[in-house]
Amino acid sequence: MDFIKNMEWRYATKKFDTTRKISRTELDLLKRSIQLTPSPYGLQLYKVIIIASQELKEMLKPISQQQHQITDCSHLFVFCNYSMVKDEYIDDYIRTKSGILHMDTDRAAANGASLKAKIAEKTPEQTANWLKNQTYLALGSLLTACADLKIDACPMEGFEPKHYNTILRLEEKGLNACVIAATGYRSAEDKVQYNPKVRKPAGLLFEEI
């Protein structure tokens, strides 16, 4: 399958070709892949900041362990989870869902109340973890789409979220930088691309019952 071949082709790119940029068409496809990511209850309680500005990437590099991928990549994706679940987020989702599915008022109200009750059952710690974990689902969609389009990517956690929040003014939007991904095209000088892929044997990774 081409999909498997493309997944075997991808790797966490260490050195990008600074002369190559992701096209608008390709960027729109990557955005669409993230938009279609499954999320709990369909709420999509996160936002993705896509940074092409070289000046801004230069500002973020020192708080990203000076990793060259930050400044050498074409576009830097910053996945941000919401800091809390506000009723208005659920209300907005219900309005959108109602308009698309033509739900009657009573059913929509009941749906919204049910979602709020379910989420309210979580402790603050559970809610925080739940919100952060959702960004990784979106990250997975991005990495898969990049492989399918033969766009290189490097998922990264080596950065300082608090400083990202400050520079990108995320806290005032109720957001928190959770995980990032540099995207673009590999440099011919990146020797890591020639390394065999290291993965657990299927017999150790899977158990069929």
For the stretch 192-205, pLDDT in tens is 999 999 999 999 99
- Mode of pairing for the β-strands spanning 75-82 and 152-156: unpaired
Q: Treating both helix axes as pointing N-terminal to C-terminal, what angle do 105-120 and 87-101 enclose, rounded to 10 degrees?
A: 140
pLDDT band of 159, cuts 50, 70, 90: very high
Produce one character per residue of 94-108: b if its CB has 16 or more CB atoms within 10 Å, e if not: beebbeeeebeeeeb
Could you read off the pLDDT of 14-70 as tens digits, one per residue? 999 999 999 999 999 999 999 999 999 999 999 999 999 999 999 999 999 999 999
Of the candidates 75, 69, 77, which has an alpha carbon nearest to the alpha carbon of residue 34? 77
Provide the sign of the torsion angle of the four alpha carbons 95, 137, 47, 171, taken in this order: positive
Give the per-residue pLDDT at 52. Answer: 98
- 1 pLDDT more than 70: no
For the chain, which domains are there? 2-84+124-205 (3.40.109.10)
